[in-house]
Amino acid sequence: MNFDVVIIGSGIGGLVCANILARQGMRVCVLEKNKQFGGNLQTFVRDKVIFDSGVHYVGGLDKDQNLYKVFSYLGIMDQLHLERMDLNCFDGIIAGEDNTIYPQAQGHENFIQQLLPYFPDEEKALREYCDKIKEICRAFPLYNLQLDGTLEQKTMASSLSAKQTIESLTGNKKLQAVLAGNNILYAGDGEATPFHVHALIINSYIESSWKFIHGGSQIAKALVKQLRFYGGEILRHQEVKQLVSEGDTIACAVANTGEKFYAAQFISNISPVHTLQMTDNPLLKKIYRNRINSLSNTVSSFSINIVLQPQTLPYQSNNLYYHHEGHLWTANAYTPENWPLLYGIFFTASSQYPGYAESVTILTNMRYEEVQPWADTFNTTLHEAERGAEYLAFKEQKAQQLLQQVYKKLPQLQSAIKHYYTITPLTYRDYIGSTDGNMYGFAKDYENPLKTTLSSKTGVPNLFLTGQYLNMHGILGATLSGVLTAITVSGNDAIIGDIREAK
């Protein structure tokens, strides 16, 4: 089969890239190893209740904001079913033994005003914080749907520590904990976490915060529909095993089915580590391979997806985040005894019983080493296999350990649970395709920002990268990565102007 472009993986970066290139008149084919398209956009159903695998809320979707513009350009904005989260508290932060829920609010001025009653002496710090995140966001042109800007600007903006920057703005430990209290969103860990990662993500939610009614998979479904409208192809159950070279370029992608897909250009939306393993192309020099293979991944996660008894738990149009006292930046260094040191709680509204929650997802971090005893197992809906009784016992023990911590802050949950289902790093590894089930790709380091910032170009002239491993993760980050790769492959800078003009 011959195409202009073959894209490996149907995560949102790959789907966005595919749609843009198909709109440019290219013959595009997306290859997905799973039954369901979308990567982290995938949803699953338990007890007739829809759960998200990775997308619990999203920012930047108000009219004329960055993600709104991209989705409008792609023709999917009016197909999405959205609920705007609580304007005065999209994220509620619980800091240590203090049971106060501190609000993070939408709108920069509202963000300040909602926190001032709790921190009346910190107005200067709050205003400087908001000014600082806006300043950092301006240093990243693509975030603002621009292509100008210099590497020097971005490098300077990337060379700040999140921990040190927040501490420099306020000496109030409680306020520090509130400002960084949802840092599981970017796996904030110790001194290495850059402030720009914090700023780009948090600013997006401050601008506007939204939940997807009936799950984030609707984004993938809308993008697949649009791709086919523009003549693109997308195939499931096609796991690429090899990228075959002819001379200095990639000639074809060989799938597990034995089918060969020929193209002029190839784009990988999967882990760069896996991508390099697929080809022995001589232009991918040893120094480049060593650099990619030496990068550390972000931590993985453990989650509990809870089906609730009807009309037992009031619905909250906000999320809750908890950090154990003294572990704001060290939650990944937990021990088996003190785990978990942080968690996030996400509520889904009941369509049958207004005012009540239908389900709850609890997310915390988990190092891959904890599931290492079962690392040689593989289990998906397409290839079902049991991991054994010890694995089931491990999951149950961890679920109870996490729930006992959550009950301390949300006691009404205990009597509201009907059934619950757990997800471990192995689940994410098997379905998403990351080596160790990591949440957000490569871990960034403010002391060496260039090392962990990857270009969409590789040493092979017709092999490109896209997705969350490049610059920024999440729906917004992977989407913008898809935009940038599409512009690079097509050579058409005018695309970004067309996106800015989208209504």
Average pLDDT over residues 451-472: 91
Q: What are phi and psi of 131, to 5 degrees?
A: -65, -40
Q: Which residues contact 253 (CB under 8 A, 6 or more apart)?
A: 6, 8, 31, 240, 242, 243, 244, 260, 261, 263, 266
User: What's the pLDDT at 288?
Assistant: 95
Q: Are 398 and 302 in contact (CB under 8 A)?
A: yes
Share of the chain above pLDDT 70, in %: 99
CATH topology of domain 2-44+54-81+214-296+442-500: FAD/NAD(P)-binding domain (3.50.50)
Average pLDDT over residues 356-383: 93
Structure tokens at 344: 């996030």
Residue 256 confidence (pLDDT) above 90: yes
Residue 23 confidence (pLDDT) above 90: yes
DSSP H or E run through 360: strand 357-366
Q: pLDDT digit string (tens) for 75-119?
A: 999 999 999 999 999 999 999 999 999 999 999 999 999 999 999
Q: Are 75 and 223 in contact (CB under 8 A)?
A: no
Residue 150 confidence (pLDDT) above 90: no
Read off the pTM. 0.94
User: What's the pLDDT at 154?
Assistant: 67
Model confidence at 152, pLDDT cuts 50, 70, 90, reads: low
Determine the Cα–Cα distance for residues 295 and 370; give it in Å rounded to an integer: 20
83-99 burial: b if 16+ Cβ within 10 Å, else e: eebbeebbbbbbbeeee
Rg of the chain over CA atoms, in angstroms?
22
Q: What rounded mean pLDDT belongs to the chain?
A: 94
Determine the Cα–Cα distance for residues 242 and 228; give it in Å rounded to an integer: 25
Coil/strand/helix, residue 62: coil
Q: Are 330 and 190 in contact (CB under 8 A)?
A: yes
Q: How far is CA 425 from CA 33, 35, 50, 367, in A?
A: 18, 20, 20, 8
Question: DSSP characters for 450-491?
Answer: TTT---SB-SSTTEEE-STTSS--HHHHHHHHHHHHHHHHHT
Residue 56 confidence (pLDDT) above 80: yes
Max distance between CA atoms of the chain, in angstroms, equals: 67
Written in H, E and C, the secondary structure of 276-339 is HHCCCCCCCCHHHHHHHHHCCECCEEEEEEEEECCCCCECCCCEEEEECCCCCCCHHHCCCCCC
Query: C-alpha dihedral over 489, 492, 493, 495, to 10 degrees?
Result: -100
Residue 107 has, within 13 A of its CA and on its CB side, a CA count of 10
User: What's the pLDDT at 170?
Assistant: 98
- Distance separating the N- and C-terminal Cα atoms of the chain: 36
Which residue intervals of the chain bear CATH 3.50.50.60?
2-44+54-81+214-296+442-500
Determine the Cα–Cα distance for residues 173 and 176; give it in Å rounded to an integer: 5
Determine the Cα–Cα distance for residues 473 and 487; give it in Å rounded to an integer: 19
Average pLDDT over residues 436-446: 89
Q: pLDDT digit string (tens) for 194-236?
A: 999 999 999 999 999 999 998 999 999 999 999 999 999 999 9
Query: C-alpha dihedral over 215, 221, 223, 226, to 10 degrees?
Result: -140
Average pLDDT over residues 333-340: 96
Residue 15 has, within 13 A of its CA and on its CB side, a CA count of 32
Model confidence at 340, pLDDT cuts 50, 70, 90, reads: very high
Lowest model confidence (mean pLDDT) among 86-90, 149-153, 487-491: 149-153
Pairing of strands 260-268, 2-8: parallel
